[in-house]
Structure 1
Amino acid sequence: MHQPAPATDLRHRAIEGPAGRLHLVEQGTGPLVVLVHGFPESWYSWRHQLPALAAAGYRAVAADVRGYGRSSKPAATDAYRMLALVEDSVALVRALGEETAVIIGHDWGSNIAAISALLHPEIFRAVGLLSVPYAPPGGPRPTDVFARMGGDQEFYVSYFQEPGRAEAEMEPDVRGWLAGFFAALSADTMPTQGEPDPHFVDRTGGHLRDRFPHGRLPSWLTEGDLDVYAGEFERTGMTGALNRYRNMDRDWEDLAPYSGAPIKQPSLFIGGGLDASTTWMADAINAYPATLPGLTSSHILDDSGHWIQQERPDEVNRLLAAWLNSLPPTA
């Protein structure tokens, strides 16, 4: 077990990645832990974990994924394919002067972390997955699957595919859209059973925000927190973030050689009991003995929604620190 080091102030810096600038924030010293955020977030999603992991004896680093925040935003849609984001993960470790790291991701970051560990086990010695379970590459073409979902309703991933369409909904009122989206997937503000599902839109001119809760923020999100998120997307626009969804078929093709491949490193999963990602992907969780044979820590937090490390920071921090401390020591 690592002896905790005194937590230091957050340190902002930029490194040169394959597509240009990668902005990161780090805290602490010790073995490197890379934290990868999801949609529609930023490094700030890990604000509760950085000091906790630093206090536990780790060098915790949270980056803005390309297309977000102060990282570069390439113009080409295919610049956001998974293989490119994996190379960003590798470049980050190398630029920090390390040979290996633990990588932990949430939402899309969970997928980025998983595929980084799958493709580069020599670098990523362990992988933590929050909210979105690991499902090995393979199966039917993703956009074909999503197009069949929902009947007369359109699944949000399909809605995001056409460049400019979702941006036209989000960008005129970024702050209001983010507030509604965060509330829609949070345990204390999400729609109740029987209300319209915010993961879908009406095919006849509907918008996602039509189904968002209105009037209050989830308990984990302060007005100041929302200001941070909104300020970033008001400056950058939403296209860089949405381009991740527009590469799912490319990822399916790129990763075909890894169809069905397990991740063998030590792994962790933490999901929310009220998160659709956990319930819709229950089969993926049940398959963990085959797909994550190195799984050493798995938890479903009851009464938690999708934004798990922000909704339940103390529990998540405790689980992460215990898991990290259980890993074999670095050389």
Structure 2
Amino acid sequence: MTTQYAAEVVHRSVHAPGGRIHLVEQGTGPLVLLVHGFPESWYSWRHQLPALAAAGYRAVAVDVRGYGRSAKPAAVDAYRMLDLVEDNAAVVHALGEKSAVVVGHDWGAAVAANSALLRPDVFRAVGLLSVPYAPRGGPRPSDLFARMGGAEEPGGEGEFGGEGESGGGEEFYVSYFQEPGRAEAEIEPDVRGWLAGFYAALSADTMPPPGAPDPHFVSKGGTLRDRFPRGPLPGWLGERELDFYAGEFERTGLTGALNRYRNMDRDWEDLAAFDGAPITQPSLFIGGSLDASTTWLAGAIDAYPVTLPGLISSHVLDGCGHWIQQERPAEVNRILTDWLAALPG
């Protein structure tokens, strides 16, 4: 990071219900908590930390439970949404603050949304990157995702309204991740190579072309890696960046990260009282036009007047893939800082 704030980056660990949470902090001012997704790290926010600090905010990026230098509880059910929300609230309080703006990407967007929903006393505004807010509802997630890989394909009126196609009889990646040890057996023998392919598969400049087999699905008897592009790294991902991510997961393994997927049915049960609930705090959404998370969940974006009544700003970046704050850092930083400046109070 080459900014006037580069010398002020601080690494620390704070106590949370599931153990320590490692965080990286930069700047002073109102607290903005940044929550990454899969398979990432606090490092996913490396472009936002200095930009937010320069704009007058205390920017804090965490390693989510199970990642990096944060605690990695052994129990699968220690990664349910309720626990991750309480981790976020504990970080805010451990930093000596009463409230924060929370911003998340990918799984971090879901954690940020539920943090705002469940702890409005702590989180005064919420920003969502790549994954839209879709209130709890509909069928049990494991049933939904099993259908996506079978004869029924994503589309229509369900949670994943859009134009995704599985090529019936294949397995959706979320279902593939459910069995402990199964995805780990694919990934961990070559973490660096797997991450490079996974990042490339969802990046605008390297994703498979239209009509190619969808990398979100696994062929019978195959692996996710079978459908990853083989070629150069995405433009946003240099060898140094890939080395950082690979080093983190080579040290920790992937189980903590994958356990988030293994709690989706538990989350559906835990959040039953919030079925269809809107998030009323001021909010922001930024998606990529080439990201399946945006296209499959187009219905969720259309529902924002009801589900995000406090929405201030919504953007779909043309020609952008899934890793939005890394693919388009300058644009995302501008949108974020403009939104933060517009927040009440």
Judge same fold: TM > 0.5, yes or no.
yes
Cα deviations by residue, 1:111-130 (Å, 9 ceiling, x for unpaired): 00000000011110000000
| Counterpart residue number, 2:34 | 35
Q: More displaced, 104-113 or 12-21?
A: 12-21
- 8 Å CA contact retained: 1:6, 1:28: no
Matched residue of 1:246: which SS? Answer: helix
Q: Which amino acid aligns with 1:284?
A: A
Q: How many angstroms apart in 1 are the aligned matches of 2:251 and 2:230?
A: 24
Which of 183, 193, 198 in structure 1 is aligned with 2:215?
198
Matched residue of 2:144: which SS? Answer: helix
| Counterpart residue number, 2:9 | 10
| Counterpart residue number, 1:154 | 171
Q: CA deviation at 1:6?
A: 6.1
| Counterpart residue number, 2:285 | 269
- 8 Å CA contact retained: 1:6, 1:54: no
Q: Please tell me whether residue 318 in structure 1 is matched to residue 334 in structure 2.
A: yes
Q: Please tell me whether residue 45 in structure 1 is matched to residue 61 in structure 2.
A: no
Which of 178, 181, 191 in structure 2 is aligned with 1:164?
181
Q: Which runs of 5+ in 1 are unaligned?
A: none
| Counterpart residue number, 2:154 | none
Q: How many angstroms apart in 2 are the aligned matches of 1:256 and 1:19?
A: 23
Within-5 A mapping of 1:49-198: 49-150=48-149, 151-198=168-215
Matched residue of 1:137: which SS? Answer: coil
Q: How many angstroms apart in 1 are the aligned matches of 2:65 and 2:84?
A: 7
| Counterpart residue number, 1:245 | 261
Q: How many angstroms apart in 2 are the aligned matches of 1:26 and 1:298?
A: 27
Q: CA deviation at 1:152?
A: 1.1
State the Cα RMSD in Å.
0.9
| Counterpart residue number, 2:321 | 305
Q: How many angstroms apart in 2 are the aligned matches of 1:9 and 1:207?
A: 43
Q: CA deviation at 1:215?
A: 2.1
Q: How many angstroms apart in 1 are the aligned matches of 2:270 and 2:174?
A: 19
Q: How many angstroms apart in 2 are the aligned matches of 1:6 and 1:32?
A: 19
Moved over 6 A (4+): none
Q: How many angstroms apart in 2 are the aligned matches of 1:85 and 1:122?
A: 16
Q: How many angstroms apart in 1 are the aligned matches of 2:242 and 2:327?
A: 14
| Counterpart residue number, 1:289 | 305
Q: How many angstroms apart in 2 are the aligned matches of 1:87 and 1:201?
A: 34
Q: CA deviation at 1:10?
A: 1.1
> TM-score scaled by structure 1?
0.97
Within-5 A mapping of 1:207-286: 207-286=223-302
Cα deviations by residue, 1:209-240 (Å, 9 ceiling, x for unpaired): 00001121000000000000000000000000
Cα deviations by residue, 1:270-292 (Å, 9 ceiling, x for unpaired): 00000000000000000000000
Q: Which amino acid aligns with 1:208?
A: L
Matched residue of 1:148: which SS? Answer: helix
Q: How many angstroms apart in 2 are the aligned matches of 1:228 and 1:287?
A: 38
Q: How many angstroms apart in 1 are the aligned matches of 2:238 and 2:87?
A: 31
> TM-score scaled by structure 2?
0.93
Q: Which amino acid aligns with 1:232?
A: E
Q: Which amino acid aligns with 2:46?
A: R
